[in-house]
Structure 1
Amino acid sequence: LSVSILTAQKWQGGARGGRPAVCEVSGIVVDSISGKPIEYASVSVLQKDGDIETGGVTGSDGKFQIGEIEPGKYSIKIEFMGYESQTLSDIELSFRGTIKKDVGEIKLSLVLLEMEAVNVVDDRPVFEFETDKMIYNTSDDIISDSGTAEDVLNKVPMVTVDQDGEVALRGNSNVKILVNGRPNRTGAGQNDVDNIPASLIDKVEVITSPSAKYDPDGMAGIINIVMKKGKYEGLNGSIRVNGKNNNYGDMGDMNGFTAYGNYKTEKWNFYTSYNLNNRVRNTFGHRDVEVRYFDIEGTPQDTVPLYSFLFNNESDRFGQSIKLGSDYSINENLILTGEVNYKVHLRQGIKNQDNLRDADILTLEKDGDDNYDVEGYFEIEKTFDNPDREFNFSTNYDFAVDDEIEILPLIGDSTILNENMNGLDIDVSYKHPLNQDTKIEFGYDGRLNNNTETMDFQLTDSNNNTFLGVNNFRYKRDIHSFFIEYNQKLSESFSIKPSVRYEYIRKNIKFKSDIMEEADTESIPLYAEILNSLQDSVYIDNYTTLYPDLHFTYNINEKQSIQFGLSKRANRPGSGGHGPGTRQIRPYPRDVYSQNFLFLGNPFLKPEYSTQYEVSFKSPIPMGFAYANLYYHQLENVIEWYNDNRYENSNVLTFKNADSGENMGVEFFFM
């Protein structure tokens, strides 16, 4: 911050030669381009030798009037900061000629300074509010520069992260998490973000009522984590080391290392990062299930305790990732971007079920040493002289191998899981201004997933009866979407943005179970009973969906506004075919060694839909900013858990579609 203080002075000339000082000079000083008057410009009346005779400054109207000047020949010099000075010569004042001289309008020109380079770094507010999103600028919040993305998200209003790392928006964990606008693939599931170092995050965008241009998956909305990308000339970089200590581990167990750098020239921008992270996770709790029977009149009869256990899960997690990317500017309006990401995430842990009525269960879990995830990204961004016109094409391919072994150390049984995941994303969009106040955008999104899973299981009972087999599961889903969005500013205060999306979805689910060695279902009742009841099957489903959307904004004044949003969101069962969401559609349980409590998927689940109405108000308040939001959601085909009563003396949870539901709430926060 620089402050310039101009002091207005007026010099009184003395009577050097004894002649009376009765002459006067006047005029007006203006900007040569705008013609606006310049206040506080310095006006000096100079003698022949350059000494100052007298002087003054201009008023708010740019005018000056300097009197008490002796007759003679003078020069007048006009100066003002940031402008080129101007000198008027041969100004003659005399009794016989001109006593009062009006020099008229004097135009000053701005001075242009030539410099080698000027870097202007603008500080952003920590929180920003736009028409359809809230932005948390984590790179401008020094207390959010350590830890992982979980620590960052816990600082974002409306967002919570529980002890299991589950991210929720407005208390709903069905939220779509993106990284740089692309589906999150940084961890075991699409909502697993603890492998993202906080120091590499530039900002977090929260969109609770997305328009139809966005993928509708995620009932609660969208959280987009935007990573840092070098943008300054020359070589830049940073190195960070962090550690953590709590009741479950010390800095030797929980630590991280992050290195980041970029090199930018006139045409090229190269950027890279490397991240290493060690973490410890500990979860514990209990589960008690009882079955109560009632007669036809509703009178309680018997209460049968089904099972009760305490659980404690401990795991050590290791992750490392490397990113290499480059931007190439063919010209100032055409930029090509290429990026490669390689990630490794390994987990090793112990799961202990302390059954209060049966034998305890202790299992060891370990990820395969050869697990990896590689991702390639390519983008073409074409801009035009009109900033509202833009073309964008991007494609992203992801391949991952995820192997895991689960062991019962007291018995010697083991189960091996192998997953191969393939994902291809294609995005094309074009924005075009129809006039100064009207814009239109349309595009295509393609989401193509093809994932396979093999589970080689082994179960042995106390009588050494063994149950062996291999389960094969394939999930293939193709989504083709087309959208169009119209945005018009009807007045200085009111704007409207309707949009619509059309989707065609094709799903192909295959299941096959090969039993190598049969078992007595009396000795291994639950898992054997479930697999024996299943049949090899192929499930194919094709359907289309239309997603209408309407947003409008009314600006009460420059800083206060009201927004209304109407949108449709979806919860597609199975997510992308990997991670925790797959248990909704997988027709067999993955947790082989749980004696009484299992999750059984339902491949016939329909998508859950939510029609969402929102009204929000934002306004500055003394010492901060306030935001209020009222929302109401109408739900259709609600996906919910329910007990599958086909299996006696066991608690098998599966999924079904309910008819309808609703969700409503009010939010208010200030900062």
Structure 2
Amino acid sequence: MIPNKKVFLAIFLLFTTFISFAQDEANNKVKVTGKVIDKSSSFPLEYSTITLKSVNNPNKVFGGITNNEGAFSIDVDKGKYNIVIEFISFQPTEIKNKEVLDNLDLGTIALDEVSKLLNEVIIRNESTTVEIKLDKKVYNVGKDLMVKGGTVSDVLDNIPSVTVDVDGTIALRGNDNVRVLIDGKPSTAINVSEALRLIPADAIDRVEVITNPSARYDAEGGGGLLNIILKKGKTNGLNGTIIATTGEPANHGLTGTLNYKTDNFNLFTTQGYNYRKNPGFSNVDTEYLNPTGNSPSYVYERRNNDRLNKGYNGGFGVEWFLDDNTNWTNSMNYRKNSSTNESDVVYTNIYNSLPNSIRNRFNSDSGNGEDVEFNSNLIKKFKKDGHQLTINFQTSLNKDDNSSIIVDSQFPNANTFSIQSQNKNLFSGDYVLPIGKGMQFEAGYRGEFTTQNTNVGILEDNVQNDDLSSKLEYKEKVNALYTQFGSKINKFSFLLGLRWEDSNIDVNLLDTNDFNNKKYNNFFPSAFFTYEISDQSSASISYSRRIRRPRGRFLNPSSDFSSNINLFQGNPDLDPAMTDSFDLGYLTKFGKKLTFNTSAYVNKTTDVFTFVRRNSGETTDDGIPIVLFNPINLATEYRAGFEFTLNYNPYKWWRLNSNFNFFSIETQGENVYIDFNGDTVVQNLNNKTTTWSTRLNSKINLPYSIDWQTNLSYEGDQKTGQGNRKGMFSANLAFSKDVFKDKATIALNVSDVFNSRIRRIETNLENLNSLSEFQWRKRQITLSFTYRFNKKKNDKEKKGNQQQDFDGGGDFPG
């Protein structure tokens, strides 16, 4: 669980070396200081921009931003400057021909807020919904009506390039090998998809989509990273938000965020409870191509699900401002949820084109989960702007208990159970050192240590069936060191990094005394190059190497008993998959109305995971063959494609953004196994397919403070190694109205307007064909009421990427 002494010694020597680079500023420098406030409220304007341009040498430019108190301190050369003070949605202030020969205090600078009317449509002060950068895309969630009263899953499902499948699987550019981070740290939940459904959307500030991460980040996630940044109070005093929601099917919730900030500390808390029903269905139509005399030629499986989830999500913390340059944040989060899922399954057997028998099966599932998490984060900033040390510690305990009662002719008195517990600890340190002008050095350590125990099985007449039960112990110890160096030379920027990860994995099947240990260490290089073609356009090329480690149900050989003719089984022999990722990007702006970003990408993954179906050789008591569904390591996958994103503001009251992604997948490999007759079977899984997806989002500010938002998305057909996945279209609508002098907002949104979000998959095997349909949740209508106290609807937001997040490090120079 704890790194050995050599690792700690290496880390100590590494950081000692880094800190020795710190230097005081040169003697010919002087300081320019001051404070920026909102003229109407006297609130400090954090992240205001101060720019000093030399009068005698236009190429000599100095700049900085204000801290959380609105104060700034900038080191400049002696001389005469034009000084500009700016903040988004405020009138800039300029001080011309200012002599700066000694330390200069500009005092308090008050900025006037800009307010305009156009054709009786109120244009409120809003930051752009999408900020496109060459290395990532940043989506500011607060302005998205679609997620009002929703959860993190709803937020991700409304972000271009990101899809959330009907069963909760998250994919980026069509690749489900995605690492989800919260404030720069991996989610500690056993079931990430379920945990994201417990976090209210209003708790999110923004989501960063990083398709090709640098060496600073975990190497996990061949498809990229999604970094969810939670809100943190910026304004002094007591302020907060309360959101109440109701909907149909039943979707009721109450969420509150509260923040109290002084000069010395910041207290914050988020509390939320939700009650959600998710009615859905699944159908599986199977044709058996060579039925025997006692088996049907067709089986139609119909399942109706009535899911109910009740969840509480609470967190609180305190940020201490130990001095002007040191912040220490401690927070505790607690999540508790309970769920039920009653499913009625009807099997209709067809013999010689005529219905012969109908069989009914009823599953009553129930589950309870608890997650407790503690985080501690220390940030120490040094004299030079951007020079800082970040230290993190995180620990969590999680437990999920699930059971199911099955009423069926084959299991007249059966009961399945699944008990999972997990302990995870994370230690990390990140050091950032600016060197000279336009250069930056970073290095750090991260250790992640996880123990997970899973006990699953089935009871028949209160007696455990050992053949259908298993106890799995999974232990993962990963130690990592990284370093990277970036520089900007005129219009050219680069960032070179190298990460080393040492993995020690135990996969132990305790009921069979089968103990497996896998040790491996890998280097993960990364390289990013950008060139500023002009003030309005830039190009980039990047490379990174990533890993995907198998976890959870992928490894557990015990079956999923939700169906007795289609069984899922994990594979404890899975090896990690390795991905090499290349990305070529181009970004250009056409004035202030249109931003265009495009990229072409190529990924090569070895030992890629894929799911295969095969006949188990067993049948039910009425002669129906049982089909197994399990993951294997397939040889190699090549994924290539291109995407583009458009942000277009044709008018101040209308904003459009769209995303289009086209990609091809080629898999090369075969599945060799011994079948139930003792024969060697070779499944040729070579496959080449192309598919595409697109998304369009429109937001219009109507008169009388009404906003209207529309979201359309489509995922194209995709051929698989054993069949085909059908295309899927969905549409969402949302409206909002400000009331009580903008202190409150009423929002109505409709998710999946046409009830068309249904996953359809065709499977073609040697002895059967099948078509499956699955809808996780039917059309949802939600009404929400948001009330803000001591807080404007659009509190002043930070600009661009000037925020320093908990993951350590910042954007590379330039």
TM-score category of the 2 structures, normalised to the smaller one: 0.7 to 0.9
Contact 1:347 1:366 in 2 (8 A): yes
Is the deviation greater in 545-554 or in 281-290?
281-290
Distance 1:119 1:274, change over 3 A: farther
Task: Show CA shifts across 1:518-548 (max 9, x none).
Answer: xxxxxxxxxxxxxxxxx43111111111111
Does residue 320 in structure 1 map to residue 312 in structure 2? yes
Distance 1:391 1:114, change over 3 A: closer
Does residue 280 in structure 1 map to residue 277 in structure 2? yes
Does residue 354 in structure 1 map to residue 331 in structure 2? no
Aligned residue pairs, count: 521
* Sequence identity percentage: 26
Partner of 2:216: 213
Partner of 1:431: 432
CA distance in 2, matches of 1:290, 1:304: 9
Partner of 1:594: 563
For 2:277, the aligned partner's letter is V
Contact 2:536 2:590 in 1 (8 A): no
Contact 2:315 2:333 in 1 (8 A): yes
Task: Show CA shifts across 1:82-102 (max 9, x none).
Answer: 999xxxxxxxxxxxxxxxxxx
Of 547, 554, 568 in structure 1, the residue corresponding to residue 545 of structure 2 is: 568
Of 373, 376, 379 in structure 2, the residue corresponding to residue 378 of structure 1 is: 376
CA distance in 1, matches of 2:614, 2:126: 56
Contact 2:153 2:193 in 1 (8 A): no
Secondary structure at 1:477's aligned position in 2?
strand
Of 625, 630, 645 in structure 1, the residue corresponding to residue 595 of structure 2 is: 625
Of 588, 601, 609 in structure 2, the residue corresponding to residue 639 of structure 1 is: 609
For 1:366, the aligned partner's letter is S
Partner of 2:572: 603
Distance 1:229 1:187, change over 3 A: farther
CA distance in 1, matches of 2:530, 2:108: 43
Does residue 367 in structure 1 map to residue 367 in structure 2? yes
For 2:637, the aligned partner's letter is G
Offset at 1:500? 1.2
Is the deviation greater in 607-616 or in 619-628?
619-628
5+ unaligned residues in a row in structure 2: which ranges?
1-37, 39-52, 57-92, 97-103, 115-124, 350-357, 619-624, 648-814
Of 127, 130, 137 in structure 2, the residue corresponding to residue 127 of structure 1 is: 130
5+ unaligned residues in a row in structure 1: which ranges?
3-32, 37-80, 85-109, 294-302, 514-534, 575-581
Offset at 1:505? 0.6
Partner of 1:331: 323
For 2:631, the aligned partner's letter is F
Secondary structure at 2:617's aligned position in 1?
coil
Partner of 1:404: 402
CA distance in 2, matches of 1:637, 1:332: 50
Partner of 1:171: 174
CA distance in 1, matches of 2:106, 2:523: 56
Contact 2:220 2:547 in 1 (8 A): yes
Does residue 489 in structure 1 map to residue 483 in structure 2? no
Partner of 2:518: 541
Task: Show CA shifts across 1:343-365 (max 9, x none).
Answer: 10211111233222363321011
Secondary structure at 1:199's aligned position in 2?
helix
Of 494, 497, 503 in structure 2, the residue corresponding to residue 499 of structure 1 is: 497
TM-score normalised by the chain length of structure 2: 0.60
Contact 1:187 1:195 in 2 (8 A): no
Of 629, 638, 644 in structure 2, the residue corresponding to residue 668 of structure 1 is: 644
Contact 1:186 1:196 in 2 (8 A): no
CA distance in 2, matches of 1:665, 1:34: 46
CA distance in 2, matches of 1:466, 1:35: 84
CA distance in 2, matches of 1:433, 1:554: 20
TM-score normalised by the chain length of structure 1: 0.72
Offset at 1:596? 1.8
Distance 1:35 1:621, change over 3 A: closer
Distance 1:437 1:238, change over 3 A: same
Partner of 1:474: 473
Distance 1:456 1:601, change over 3 A: closer
Task: Show CA shifts across 1:464-521 (max 9, x none).
Answer: 9984685321111111111111111122x111111111111111111133xxxxxxxx
**CA RMSD for the aligned pairs?**
3.0
Contact 1:383 1:390 in 2 (8 A): yes
Offset at 1:443? 0.8
Does residue 309 in structure 1 map to residue 310 in structure 2? no
Offset at 1:278? 1.6
For 1:402, the aligned partner's letter is D
CA distance in 1, matches of 2:111, 2:261: 16
Contact 2:473 2:510 in 1 (8 A): no
For 2:399, the aligned partner's letter is V
